[in-house]
Structure formats: C-alpha cells, structure tokens
Chains A and B, each alone.
Chain A
Amino acid sequence: MDRITLPERPEWRAKAAELGFTFADMHGEPYWDESSAYAFTLEEIEGRIEDPCTELHAMCREAVATVLADEGLMERLGLPRLRWEFIRDSWEAGEPELYGRFDLAYDGKGPAKLLEYNADTPTSLYESASFQWLWYEEQVAARVLPEGSDQFNRIHEALVERFAEMFAPDTDLHFAAMAGAPEDYATVETMAWAAREAGMGAHYTDLEKIGISDQGQFTDAEDRVIGTLFKLYPWEDLFADEFSAHLASAQCRFIEPPWKALLSNKAILPVLWQMYPGHPNLLPAFFADDTKGLADAAHLMLAGHVTKPIFSREGASVTITAQGRVLERATNRDYDRHPMIVQGYAPLPVMGGMRPVIGAWVVGETCVGMGVREDRALITQDLSRFKPHFIEG
C-alpha cells in the first residue's frame, strides 16, 4: 500500500459537472481528490481485503442467526421489541441482501481490522463504482497509469448481476432517499441504474412522500403502490417513524432486508468478538457496561480504545481514548443518547499527512470492490476525501 502523487486529469471538474457529480466539492472543501491515489499489490487486495471481507460477511450472517436466537442479545441491539418478529421473519424467509460496505483500518503491514459494517445504508457508491472507475480508465488512456495495472472495482457489474438474481425481469422497484441530500441521491440513482441494466423498472420517490393506501400498502408520490422498496434510510429510524406500524403488513419487500438492522448496529461488534475471539480481522469489542470483559481484555487494548454508540453515522459521537487521555472526540454528538460499545483502537496509518480508511464493498455475499477515504483527523467524518486507488501491474 502506497500513496502516490499523480497528475490530475485536466478536465475532471468539467466532467464531474457534466455527469451530475455535484458534490465533488462539499462544504467548500474538495471531496473527490485525485491529486494522489492509493496503490496496492494484487496479493494485498486479494489476501488482505477481498477474501477477508467475504469471510467477514459470512461471519456476520452467522452472527445474525446467533442474535436472533438469543433474547438477551436482541435486547442489546436497542431495536423496538414490537419489530423483532418482522426482523426475524425476513431472516427466516431468506430475504437476500443487496450490498454493504466494511470500513477497515489497514496499514499495508498487518491484517485489515474491521472498524464497522455499514450494512444498511452505505453511501459513496457513485464515487466508488462509477467516477473512480472512469478515473482509472482515463488515466490508463492518458498513460498516467500503465497497461497491466488494474482496479478492484467490480461493484457496478456485481450489482447488475445481483439484481437479476434477486428479482424476475421487469419487476418494478422503488428507490427512496430523503430529499435535499445530493450525496444520498447519487447513491440511490447509481443503484437505480444498475437495476435498470438488470432489466428492472426503477422509480424514484422522496422518502418523505411515501404514503399509505386504503389497503395499507405504501404508495409513492404519484400514488403508485410500492411492491419493493430500496430505502436509503436506516432501519432503526424507520422503526421510530409513524409508519412503522405498517411495515409488516404493507406486503412490501425491502432492500436492505430488515435483518440487516442487526449488522449495521455497532452492537454486532462485541457479538462478533464473542463468537470469533482473536480473529485476525476483528478488534476486541465489548458492551460499555461489560466491566469484567473490558478488564480481562485490558492487555489487548494497550493502544487505546474507541467508544461508539450502537447507532451512528459518519463518525458521530465517537471518542478515542489512549493512556487515559482523550485523543479525539467527534464534534457531532447527535447519537450520544444511545448505548455505547468499546472497541480496541487500531490507529489508521498516516500517509502524506492523511489517514486512509478502506471501504470494502460487499454485493450479495461477496466482496467485489473498494474505495478509500482519507481524513486529517483520527475519526473519519463527513469532511473526509474520497481517493481513487489502483492495483500495480
């Protein structure tokens, strides 16, 4: 793993604007940054990222079965008891998963360590699957990158194949995101493109415009019944919304399926550590009130520990502590009221003054691609930059 300075494509900003990538700059800072890129070897990609993440996903599926069979663990996940049956039914019915993103700390030396699994509402799909791919193709054409190099990015093709496995041809799928967040919309529209390529009918609706029909089915902004809903909106939030009472009876299939609520939850991290203690890709993790577990594992967390709420997005309410001192505390504390977990601290490598996090994409049950985000801060938050990567030839 290396961070290499490369010439930028001269016209990339115009290209981004033309393609609708309107958030290439965000909050007055560059978000897409191709002034340098991360280089990996093929052995590294396959042995350290791809195969471990496919295995991690399989372990996560085992963890879902374990949690569903254990009421005490279900309690730990902080999801309303009224919806447990709905979640369990989706697992027992074998409702297939579409996608997810593992966030990994990887320094090019030891094994990649799982920080968390964005198993329900991962974003940055457009920049990973599409704009990053275009960057690679154009840099090869410009001879900036050599023939014989590659990129770990089968995300788009894998999504097309997965949609075709999940649904009969011409199935109508609805895609919903909250209005007014272009980065969320880009993920949803990228997904909708893949669905259309797989032969599905893809329709967009703002999440807030979803209604309920006289027969108790969900309807879109134009009153069409929603048979299948891809919702870029967390399950724990859906469960707290007014319409949650209709979820089980609306005859609607959801993507991601409800059981993904167990995996996007940080409470799954201590469960995984209980099931697979010492696994090379896991960090020790405990519920914050598990004082005995934490005391027994003190020797495993000498580098420090990280406190995270079970529900959180984009690093909110995360605190890193080492030697009894707070190293960094996220400024966004929106999730402070939730139960916490404690995870061993795996410092991110520092490369060119930045700290990269690997986002490894899982489609279906297989790891199929990746993206890198980097941040100056210890906690990767919403001001991080997206960096392209390539595999050396």
Chain B
Amino acid sequence: MKRSRAVSLGILGAAAFGLAACQQEEQTDAAAFPDEASCVAAAAQSGWFTREDCAATFAEAQALHAETAPRYESRELCEQEHGAGNCGGDTVAGSGGGGSIFMPLLAGYLIGQALGGGRAMAQPVVPKAGGGYATPTGGTQLSRLNSTGKMGTAAFAKGPTTVGQPPMTRAAVASRGGFGGSAATRSVGG
C-alpha cells in the first residue's frame, strides 16, 4: 500500500471567527458588540448571557481598556496603528509620565462564556488601522462587531498593564512586523 493508513482531515480555516489558532486551547461561546445596548438587544436570543451580564462585562471592558490599552508617545504613532481619528488622550487622569500619552478609543467589547460556569468574561477591543478590531494585546482580531461564534479562551486573558508605564515609542512599535514586507504576491506558496 502506497498511501497513509489514516489522515487528519479538517482544517479550521483562516476565515473563522477571530484568529484561528493552532494551539489546542479550549473554545468557548463568544460575542462581540460595539456597546452595551447592542449586547442587551442580543441577550434574549443568546441563551448564555443576560442583560445583567451585558452591563457587568461592559463595565469590566471599560476598566480593562483604561488599564491595558496600548499607550503611545504621540497621536501620530497611535493613529498609524489604529487608524485616523481613532485615538485620544490618556483616559486615566494623572497617569502620564509628564509628557502626553495617546491611546486608541474603546470600539467595543467581547463577552465570553466562562467554562465551568461563573461570571461571563470580558475584553475590550480597539480599532486597527486598515479596518477591523483587536484586543489590547493584538492577540485576537475581529473583522466586525455584532458577531458571535466560538473563540479560544486565551482571547480573554488580561493583557499587560500599560497605565502608569512609559508609552510606546516608534522603536518599540517597530519591534513587531519586521517580516512579511517583501512578499511579491498575496499567496507566497508555489
């Protein structure tokens, strides 16, 4: 016999909700909303979150945004990463290191079902330059809000605290994205 005895068949597909990741992490029900009202409007049909969850997770997302959103040393640098008109001054009074600090506006939030019960999980999302949304670390990306699906639980891991920390400089931003600039065509395979 010149063929495999067994072959794994499925591929998740890069178009899956959020970032299709290979790691074998647990998946949970998740939904993305631009604001609390949209969440409340969807709560009745959802079956796994309530209006109360919407309010609690939105408040948590706002707090996490203030604490963990990326912070930049200039508006220009922030808009380069998050798009024109999508950045504002630091929302936490007195947190700056003397100079001015800019951060992306809260564009919406993710709500996720806690595995094994308990309070629904929350993460803020901020706009990305060129369209779409991402969690503060950039680890989970969404093409649109008002969407539901399965998502890895790692999407709800809290990002590093940025409040009170020195803002990112241009050099710090450039330390990601140093590969991929030379592809001649969209698909690089042969």
Contacts and interface: CB of A to CB of B under 8 A. Distances in A.
Interface string A54-98: 000000000000000000000000000000000000000000000
A107 to B, nearest CB: 22
A206 B178 CA distance: 12
B85 interface: no
Given A181-B188, A185-B20, A211-B176, A150 B7 contact: no
Interface string B97-127: 0000000000000000000000000000000
Contacts of A234: 188
Contacts of B190: 101, 118, 121-123, 264, 313-314
Interface string A125-154: 010011101101000000000000011111
A19 B188 contact: no
A202 B189 contact: no
A258 to B, nearest CB: 15
A186 B11 contact: yes
A151 B2 contact: yes
A181 B175 CA distance: 24
A263 interface: no
B176 A210 contact: yes
Given A133-B3, A153-B3, A313-B185, A189 B11 contact: yes
A178 B154 contact: no
Contacts of A36: none
Interface string B1-25: 1111101111111111001111110
B184 A150 contact: no
Contacts of A136: 3
A28 to B, nearest CB: 16
Given A122-B189, A123-B190, A180-B186, A22 B181 contact: no
B139 interface: yes
Chain B interface main SS type: loop
Nearest to A122: B190
B175 to A, nearest CB: 5
Chain A interface main SS type: mixed
Contacts of A201: 23
Contact of A152 (B3, B180, B185): B3
Interface in A136-187: 136, 150-157, 175-187
Contact of A222 (B1, B154, B179): B154
A313 B188 CA distance: 7
Nearest to A116: B190
A51 to B, nearest CB: 13
B44 to A, nearest CB: 30
A316 interface: yes
Nearest to A189: B11
B148 interface: no
Q: Which of B5, B11, B23 has most A Cβ within 10 Å?
A: B11
A216 B186 CA distance: 28
Contact of B13 (A20, A156, A240, A314): A20
The 7 A-B pairs with the shortest beta carbon distances in the complex, nearest first, are A123-B189, A243-B178, A204-B22, A211-B176, A20-B13, A237-B182, A208-B180
Interface of B: 1-5, 7-16, 19-24, 137-139, 154, 174-190
Given A231-B179, A233-B179, A238-B179, 12 more contacts: A123-B190, A134-B9, A150-B1, A151-B2, A156-B7, A181-B14, A204-B23, A242-B174, A242-B181, A243-B179, A316-B184, A334-B185
